[in-house]
Structure 1
Amino acid sequence: MEENRYLILSFDMASEVFGEMVLPGCVANGIGLQMSISVFGESLSLFEYDSFGGCSIWVMKEYGIAESWTKLFSFKSYIRKVLGFRKNGEIVAAKSYINLVSFDPKSKQEVNLGMCRSKYKYSSLIRRALFYLMEKIKAY
């Protein structure tokens, strides 16, 4: 009997070849999980959302090496969507449609960013501009 497994499908634009990347074992066999991917520093990252509003963040330390997946952080409180990472390693997330927060995985501190977002999703361009501005404001 064939087992269903989640994976990441990749495409190498130079060689025009498709590839597959295996997810962490506990995620690969998940049923009904919501997931998304992003970049953390220079590493591939995976956001795994559970049915209770929690979120685990996985990072692939060595690109293409399945055994290098490492759980970076798990949110126990409700997270609607992880939006990305700041240069200092903090995680920016939407806790609701109107509440953006920043989490420091080292200190486990949550800071309300005092920003609201609409019910409409940020485009990638707007999100990048937001992170750029946050970094500039924090530098002053």
Structure 2
Amino acid sequence: MPDTTYDMFPSTGFTVTHFLVSADIKKSVDFYARILGGTVVMDGENGKPNVVQLANTWIIINVGGGPTDDKPAVYLAPPKDGEAVSSFLNLRVANIAECYDRWKGLGAEFLTEPKVHDAETRCYMRDPDGHLIEVGEAKQ
């Protein structure tokens, strides 16, 4: 069972999270928790971020916004189209057929069925905001 403590204040080293901009936070939190089996560790109430523990990492899900003093020329927005991608989640799984069937049955939308490649079998899906997620099973 994974530790569901979200350590925003590590005493040594650092904590890795992935920040996703969402147009519909509740729908995205539901996707990462219900479909992928994550655990909601912060619900976004009272100014806190929405955080879902997904396996051994955390996904922060929040709204976009304009520039701030520490990122003066940068704004945050969900993906505008499905064609251009500069970053994606990569989920390594033990049994891709099982994950594909289970997650598809729960409502995940995959681009294709799993495809066999030299080093792995993989497929891609999108979250409700269009963020790309690779699902792959490495060959041993």
Q: What TM-score comes out, normalization by structure 1 length?
A: 0.24
Task: Answer 1 or 2: higher relative contact order, Cα 8 Å, separation at least 6.
Answer: 2
Q: What TM-score comes out, normalization by structure 2 length?
A: 0.24
